[in-house]
Amino acid sequence: MPLLETEHTPRLQVCTDVAFLPMLTGFVEKGAELFGLAPTQATELTLAVEEIFAYLCQTDRRVQPLDIRCSGGGYYVRIDFLLPAPAFNMRAFNLTASVPITEAGGMEEMGLRIASRLVDRLQLTESDGPGARLSLVKEKSYPPVSNPERLTAVPLESFAVTAPHPEELKRIAQMIPLAYQPHLIPSFFGFPGKVSDMVASGEYRAAIAKGDGGRIGGGILWHWTGARTVQCLGPYLFNQQTPHPMAEALLEACIGDIAKTQAVCLINRYPTDALPPGHFEPLGSWTGYTPAGTPIERVAYFRLMREDPGASVWCHPALEPFLRKEYRRLVLPREIFPAENLGESIPAFSVLWTEFDRSQAQVTLRPLRFGADAETNLIDHVRLLTKEPATGVFFFMDLGRPRQTLFTPHLLTHGFTPRAVLPYAGDGDIVIFQLNDPAS
Amino acid sequence: MNLSCLDSLVPDYVKCFEAYVPSKPDHELKKIYGCTVLHRLNNNENPLGPPPAAQAVIDRFPPPRASLYPSGDAYDLRHRLADRFGLHPDQFLVGNGANEVIGFVIKAFCQQGDNIVTADRTFAVYEWVARFSGFEARLVPLKDFGFDDGGMSAQIDERTKILFVCNPNNPTGTYWSLDRLTRFLERVGPRRIVVVDEAYCEFVDQKDYPDGIRLIRDYPQLVVFRTFSKMYALAGLRIGYLAGAPEVVDVIRKTCVVYSVNVLAQEAALAALDDETHVHRTREMVREGKTYLSQALNRLGLPFICGEGNFMMVKLPISDTLAYRKLMTQGVMIRTMTGFRFPNWIRVTVSHRHAMDAFIRSLADQVAS
């Protein structure tokens, strides 16, 4: 999620004292209105911010200064809490944390969990310096596809790849759900206005293939998912014979756009049958779910954008066989350094951050801190998350951070399987674990 | 030192620019990829090495001279170039590789709001220097793998200061003929600088290929780049130069960093310049190498482009970055073309037969299969 701030970004500085809550809610309401959120979504965002703020006030009895920013991302409004860690009790960011708000004791449904359900994305990012950023993203509401029967595509004899104007973008956003199964595409394609705003904001980019008379034959979208990783969606072809050179031309437009940027890895998690052979390498597979809850095996693909200069990674011995096999298969030169706890002192508490992607029925756990309670904490998270119906539970381990790899034996003991290695997706490569059969 | 304000010091056009990361040294690469030999087919280096006279200069260089500054403006070399090309010595500027003179020209002519025009799939440094200096780089798609003169003309506006043409183009090897180049110069007119980068000109063996330096008299807006890195195999010493009309070079000289070219590079270049035998031997090796590679690639069923220059481009059935990794495990280093906006293509330097053998063998084993 890119930073959107400019010198004109609205900011509010308060202390972690509930007395400031009315001031904060007023700031969020006005900000949401300014950046175009409808009243219902604005209310939900405000409620989520209230929950977070109250939670932060309760987690630490000391009064802390807090910097809060509001920004618009075209199709969403975002609130950022800049947390002056280490003053904050990071343990509170475990989704399973139960913090007493009354003398009567803890409440299970509170704080982070309530907030996570009120917004579309809730992310915690540790900054390089001291502190962290907690971001709440609330997307705007858009009408779904209308009159789909009017959208027809014909095979094109010739075509040119161009950047789409907004009306063309809305048109392909309507055509994609007609041409592809829902579980093969991100859910936002059902909302053309949203896709138009996503591209207009600059967060997403797009190219389309047009023939004579402006007829659209296909399209592709791409966006940054990390500092060095870009995800492409598509290419999507409409009523064109496959394989078709249009698919390669669309993909080359995407690659050409990011070729001279800091992008190191291009991934494709929603491959279609139009994906040109030879441009990508199979990264690994994971179990996804159809909207009806049926498990479905999915394959992710990637390509490096540069010559691989080699890298070193940290690895717990229990993960080493998997890593060596994957690095050999992917021909990725890696020096593997062992990382395990050999009795040295470690923090008492671990922290796992939970990210929900409700549209894809996925939950991702990201380790922020390893601690003595790591196994218990993991078990608690699994217990809580498996209550969610038909949801893929993932654990992203950054091999550039040795402490994260210490979660390995607990993951393997408690039902997680390493599924893929994503090169250069974090400080180092990221290993993606998935919880086996979470529905059972 | 507290660097918390560093972000506010950095211009936006630098913030959004990604630094180029060069390859690691050979000994590191061999260790990383587990190979015992490394055929360097990635940088279009000349495997014959510098001409004998230049090698003698390098051999005889007295170490104590390293303590003295070199000629600040490559005085002897400029005079020698002037003799050779029939121009005045002040019509030449020598730089620390041709890369440095790109910066001289852009700094001399561009100011805020100006733009340069070049191709989208060519030597990247024109675009890079413009962008990290805060100027727009207008990129025109290649047409049939060559520079599109019409497309470039169409991109010109009142803020266009420089047009860069790589002739022959790296990496496609296409070139503009004398007729096409002069028509382009006529069309652009005298109000803009046209840079023709002739880094690979000594490899071209085509009758209609233009010698840009001979055109300067008639087209004073023309600036020509040349290098000693490719044909003359002095890449490790970093030396290149530009030539132009006296008035134009006088302006560029204002942004030129003096003393940037070391003494050994200047003297080796001076010794290399007249060695026509070396040029002939290199051309012969390249000609034989291209014939061999073309036949082998045809047998493997891999499409390729064999243009001018000491390199060829090959289209692969797999990702070029995967091919790089696979070939590196066999001790063969090629250049991936994704960064040039040619995904799934590689560029390979034409070299000695044993290196070409190793390349083809690895390609057959690791890629074509």
Do A235 and A351 belong together in one domain? no
Which domains does chain B carry? 9-50+276-368 (3.90.1150.10), 52-272 (3.40.640.10)
Are A303 and B34 a contacting pair at CB < 8 A?
no
Partnered with residue A266 across adjacent β-strands are A230, A303
pLDDT for A106 equals 46
Q: Do A92 and A26 belong to one domain? A: yes
Q: Look at residue A108 in the predicted model and tell me its pLDDT.
A: 40
- Scanning the structure block, which residue is given the tokens 């998270």? A381
A253 and A318 together in one domain: no
pLDDT at A249 over 60: yes
What ipTM was estimated for this complex?
Answer: 0.90
Task: Write out pLDDT tens, residues A165-211.
Answer: 999 999 999 999 889 988 788 889 889 999 999 999 999 999 999 99
Q: What is the pLDDT of residues A299-315, one digit of tens each?
A: 999 999 999 999 999 99
Say what the pLDDT of residue A55 is.
82
**Residues of chain B with C-beta less than 8 angstroms from the C-beta of A306:** 21, 321, 336, 338-339
Considering CB atoms only, which of B318, B321, B329 is closest to A305?
A: B321
Residues 6+ positions from A330 with CB-CB distance below 8 Å: A281, A283, A421, A423
pLDDT over 50 at A264, yes or no: yes
Considering the domain architecture, whether residues A250 and A332 belong to the same structural domain is answered as no
Give the best residue of A331, A335, A424 to mutate against chain B (max B CB count within 10 A).
Answer: A331
Binary contact (B338, A259; C-beta < 8 A): yes
- Which residue among A110, A139, A168 closes a domain? A139
Mean pLDDT of B23-47: 96
Calculate mean pLDDT across residues B20-31.
92
- Chain B contacts of A331, Cβ < 8 Å? 322, 325-326, 329
At A213, which amino acid appears?
Answer: G
Question: What local confidence, expressed as pLDDT, does residue A86 receive?
Answer: 59
For all residues of chain B together, what is the average pLDDT? 96
Under the banding of pLDDT at 50, 70 and 90, the label for residue A101 is: very low
The arithmetic mean of pLDDT across residues B166-187, rounded, is 98
Q: How far is CA B220 from CA B126, B149, B186, B212, in A?
A: 21, 19, 11, 11
CB atoms within 10 A of CB A241: 8
Mean pLDDT throughout B12-25? 86
- pLDDT of residue A9 exceeding 90, the answer is no
- B206 versus A157: the higher-pLDDT residue is B206
Cis peptide bond prior to A402, omega within 30° of 0: no
Which among A252, A256, A279 is the nearest to B319, CB-wise?
A279
Is A231 among the domain residues? Answer: yes
B339, A259: Cβ pair inside 8 Å?
yes
Q: Do A308 and B21 count as a contact with CB atoms less than 8 A apart?
A: no
A139, A162, A191 — which closes off a domain? A139
Highest mean pLDDT among A237-241, A243-247, A343-347, B160-164: B160-164
Q: Give pLDDT tens digits for B224-235.
A: 999 999 999 999
**Residue A306 in domain:** no
Structure tokens at B259: 């003393």
User: In A, which residues are within 8 Å of B326 by CB distance?
Assistant: 331
State yes or no: cis peptide before A277, omega within 30 of 0: no
CB B164 within 8 A of CB B131: no
Is residue A244 located within the same domain as residue A317?
no
User: Is residue A93 pLDDT above 80, yes or no?
Assistant: no
Q: Which pLDDT score is estimated for B65? A: 95
Write b or e for each residue in A383-404: b if 16 or more Cβ atoms lie within 10 A of its Cβ, otherwise e. Answer: ebbbebeebbbbbbbbbbbbbb
Say if CB A141 and CB A38 are below 8 A apart.
Answer: yes
In sequence order, what are the residues at sequence separation of 6 or more whose Cβ sits closer than 8 angstroms to the Cβ of residue B348? B41, B293, B311, B312, B313, B314, B334, B335, B359
| pLDDT, position B4 | 62
pLDDT at A109 over 60: no
Tell me which chain B residue has its CA closest to the CA of residue A301.
B319
Is A207 found in the same domain as A125? no
pLDDT at residue B369 tops 80: no
Residue range A113-163, pLDDT digits in tens: 788 778 888 888 766 566 778 899 999 999 987 766 666 788 888 999 999
At A210, give phi and psi (nearest 5°): -120, 145
For residue B367, name the pLDDT band (cuts at 50, 70, 90): confident
Task: Give me the amino acid identity at A377.
Answer: N
pLDDT number for residue B348? 98
**Number of independent structural domains in chain A:** 3
| Any A CB within 8 A of B151 CB | no
Q: How confident is the model at residue A104 (pLDDT cuts 50, 70, 90)?
A: very low
Q: Which residues form the domain of A323?
A: 311-435
Partnered with residue A134 across adjacent β-strands are A81, A124
Which distant-in-sequence residues (6+ apart) come within 8 Å of A269 by Cβ?
Answer: A231, A298, A300
Q: Do A274 and A153 belong to one domain?
A: yes
CA A6 to chain centre: 23
In a domain, A3, yes or no: no
Of all residues in chain A, the percent with pLDDT exceeding 90 is 57
Instruction: Output the pLDDT for position A5.
Output: 58
CA distance A282 to B22: 27
Compute the nearest-CA separation of A38 from chain B (Å). Answer: 33
CA distance A431 to chain B (A): 20
Residue A233 lies inside a defined structural domain of this protein:
yes
CATH classification at residue A59: 3.30.565.10
State the average pLDDT over residues A82-108: 60
pLDDT higher than threshold 70 for residue B1: no
Does residue A293 lie in a domain region? no
Q: Do B321 and A306 touch (CB under 8 A)?
A: yes
Of the partner residues B127, B317, B324, the one whose CB lies closest to the CB of residue A307: B324
Q: Which of A286 and B176 is assigned the larger pLDDT? A: B176
d(CA B164, CA B212): 13
Share of chain B above pLDDT 70, in %: 99
C-alpha distance from A330 to closest chain B C-alpha (Å): 8
Say whether both A188 and A132 belong to one domain.
no
Residues B242-261, mean pLDDT to the nearest whole number: 97
Q: Under an 8 A CB cutoff, do B318 and A252 touch? A: no
Query: What is the C-alpha to C-alpha distance for residues B324 and B334, in angstroms, rounded to an integer?
Result: 6
Determine how β-strand A334-338 pairs with β-strand A311-315: parallel
Place of tokens 């796992």: A352
Q: How much is the CA Rg of chain A, to the nearest whole Å?
A: 23
Which residue of A251, A262, A308 is in closest CB contact with B325? A308
Instruction: Select from B122, B325, B328, B366 the residue whose CB has the most chain A CBs within 10 Å, as the one to mutate to test that interface.
Output: B325
* Amino acid occupying residue B291: T
Better-predicted residue by pLDDT, B331 or A99: B331
Same domain, yes or no: A155 and A125: no
Please judge whether B321 and A308 are an interchain contact, meaning their C-beta atoms are less than 8 angstroms apart: yes
CA distance A181 to A174: 13
Contacts of B18 in chain A (CB under 8 A): 260-262
Q: Is a pLDDT exceeding 60 seen at residue B163?
A: yes
Tokens 């400019």, residue located: A6
Q: Residue A280: which of B124, B316, B319 has the nearest Cβ? A: B319
pLDDT, one tens digit per residue, over A407-427 is 999 999 999 999 999 999 999
Q: Which of A162, A222, A254, A260 would you mutate first to test chain B, the one with the most B CBs within 10 A?
A: A260
> Nearest C-alpha of chain B: how many angstroms from A288?
27
Residue A285 is assigned to a structural domain of this protein: no
Do A17 and A131 belong together in one domain?
Answer: yes
Return the bridge partners of B227, or none. B240
Q: At which of A139, A172, A192 does a domain end?
A: A139
Q: Using alpha carbons, list the distances in angstroms from residue A295 to A120, A186, A190.
A: 23, 17, 22
CA angle A369/A372/A373 to nearest 5° reads 85
Which residues are CB-contacts of B124 (< 8 A; sequence separation ≥ 6)? Answer: A260, B339, B340
Q: Does some domain include residue A300?
A: no
Nearest CA in chain A to B25: A309
**Residues B301-356: tens digit of each pLDDT:** 999 999 999 999 999 999 999 999 999 999 999 999 999 999 999 999 999 999 99
- What CATH number corresponds to the domain at position A366? 3.40.630.30
Least confident of A112-121, B32-41, B75-84, B355-364: A112-121
Partnered with residue B196 across adjacent β-strands are B165, B224
Cβ–Cβ below 8 Å for A262 and B120 = no
For residue A379, pLDDT beyond 80: yes
- Of the ranges A73-87, A88-102, B198-212, the best mean pLDDT one: B198-212
Taking the C-alpha atoms of residue A172 and residue A163, their distance in angstroms, rounded to an integer, is: 12
pLDDT mean across residues, chain A:
87
* pLDDT for the residue A386: 85
Domain assignment of residue A317, yes or no: yes
Please, which residues 126-145 of chain A have a Cβ atom closer than 8 Å to chain B? 129
Average pLDDT value for residue range A15-24: 91
- In this predicted model, what pLDDT tens digit does every residue of B113-143 receive, in sequence order? 999 999 999 999 999 999 999 999 999 999 9
For A29-72, how does the pLDDT look when each residue is reduced to its tens digit (9 = 90+)? Answer: 999 999 999 999 999 999 999 988 988 887 766 777 889 999 99
Do A95 and A128 lie in a common domain? yes
Q: Does A245 touch chain B (CB under 8 A)?
A: no
- Which residue of chain B comes nearest to A262, CA vs CA? B18
AA letter at A245 = P
